[in-house]
Amino acid sequence: MKTVIPVGPYHPLQEEPELFKLYCDGETVVDIDWETGYNHRGIEKINENKTFDQVFFVVERICGICSTSHPFAYANAMEELAQVKVPDRAKYIRCIIGELERLHSHLLWVGLAGHFIGYNTVFMWAWKYREPVLDLFEMITGNRNSYAMFRIGGVRRDIANDKFPAIRKVLAGLKPKVDMLLGAVLDDPVIHARTKGVGILTKEDIIDYCAVGPTARASGLAIDIRKDDPYAAYGMLDWKVITAEEGDVFAKAAVRFLEMYESIKIIEQSLAAMEKLPEGDITAKVKNIPDGVGCGRAEAPRGEVFHFVKSDGSNTPVRHKIRAPSYVNIATFKKSCIGQSISDATLALAAVDPCYCCTERMAFVYDACSKKKIMNGNDLIRLSQKRTEELKRKL
């Protein structure tokens, strides 16, 4: 008898409002279906009534974790449309904000992934090491989240040179912690047993679903907008795109870990470059936005963010299309979850790192015929953790 497991309308662990229905035969997931739009906010429509400057504050609130990637892509689109040349110092500041965000986002994912499989120590560690990064944001931008740093033509606030030692100190402190986490997570035999060969996405699947970000890179596709279509200062810095071939949960974790080192490298280089530039030169003058279209994209922690803006020469967009990376990455669940056990599917769903919000609802497991409640969201986590315990005992 097939059992339907609805996970949602708010995912109990991942923070996006979406409803997954896992169709299970015994312990095995045989099909998956999803419903979105439960929390449709109509942001594209809202933006048609906002001025070009106000749109920044709206798009910043699309996602709480990668709250700078949407303004980043929107700024790129607007600067393409208005043909604005951004000062170099602003470009480096943008890179620093973007990479700090990648650091805290990847650490957050590592923590949650640890919690999913029952390694709560990893969760505590990763989130503890994430804190200094958020403190840095507070120091640089005034906010731990929704930084409001971007504007058309540059950034709103400069990072004064006397703040550089504090930033460097946090980065220097973070590196050994990431080393330690990397060793603890990627060398652990139980984590190997739990994540290797789970939720595999082949290169062909990625191409077919047009998936992006670490999800694509973990399957051997070296696509990274920062490298392919360089924006801000990424083209002026020395860093590399991290890839893995296996396409399983382990490969996705490895890619995210190694990307953290690259982010640290990018920030350090940006700071060094900024020392040679005059302070205060952070924005270009923008007179008006002409009639036309602009396409901007940026590499968020989860992949490519895309913004399309059409202007008619007035002060508001006529059309603003937004595509977040999860939009294409979530669809890959159809490939990664089918054939997995329920406890592994939970992990495969988490592996693409869909955006997180703070609302948590219960997920109920029903018997499809009697509609009788069998489990709740916490039971699902316990199921996943139990599996890890079993593996631990076996090894």
Partner 1 sequence: MDNQELIELLKFKFKTDIQNVYIRFKNRVTLQVKREVLPKLAKYLFKEHKARFIIASAMDSGDKFEIVYHFSYDPTGLMLNLQVALPKEKPEIESLVPLFVAADWIEREMHELFGIRFLNHPNLVPLISDGNWKEKTFPYAKKTVKKT
What radius of gyration do the chain's Cα atoms show? 21
Q: Cβ neighbours of residue 139 under 8 Å, at least 6 residues apart?
A: 163, 166
Nearer to partner 1 by Cβ, of 148 and 293: the residue is: 293
287: tokens are 């007179």
Which listed residue (25, 26, 27, 45) binds partner 1 by CB under 8 A? 45
Cis preceding linkage at 290, omega within 30: no
Distance (Å, rounded) from C-alpha 189 to C-alpha 393? 11
Positive or negative, the CA dihedral 323, 325, 326, 328 is positive
Site string for partner 1, 119-158 (x = CB under 8 A): ----------------------------------------
* Shortest Å distance, C-beta 351 to partner 1: 19
| Sole binder of partner 1 in the list 36, 54, 341, 385 (CB under 8 A) | 36
Q: At what angle do helices 120-141 and 88-116 cross, to 10 degrees?
A: 160
Among 35, 245, 279, 389, binds partner 1 (CB under 8 A): 35
DSSP 126-191: HHHHHHHHHHHHHHHHS-SS----EETTEESS---GGGHHHHHHHHHHHHHHHHHHHHHHHT-HHH
What binding mask, one character per residue, do residues 315-344 give for partner 1 by CB under 8 A, x or -? Answer: xx-xx-x-x---xx--x--x----------
Query: To the nearest whole angstrom, how small is the minimum distance from the Cβ of residue 198 to partner 1?
Result: 22
304 binds partner 1 (CB under 8 A): yes
- Of 18 and 88, which CB lies nearer to partner 1 in the complex structure? 18
Rounded to 5 degrees, what angle do the CA atoms 32, 35, 41 make? Answer: 150
What residues are paired with 24 via a beta bridge? Answer: 3, 29
Residue with smaller CB distance to partner 1, 41 or 373 = 41
Span 193-252, contacts to partner 1 by CB under 8 A: 207-210, 223, 225, 228-230
Binding site for partner 1 (CB under 8 A): 35-38, 40, 42, 44-45, 80, 207-210, 223, 225, 228-230, 293, 295, 297, 304, 306, 308, 310, 312, 314-316, 318-319, 321, 323, 327-328, 331, 334
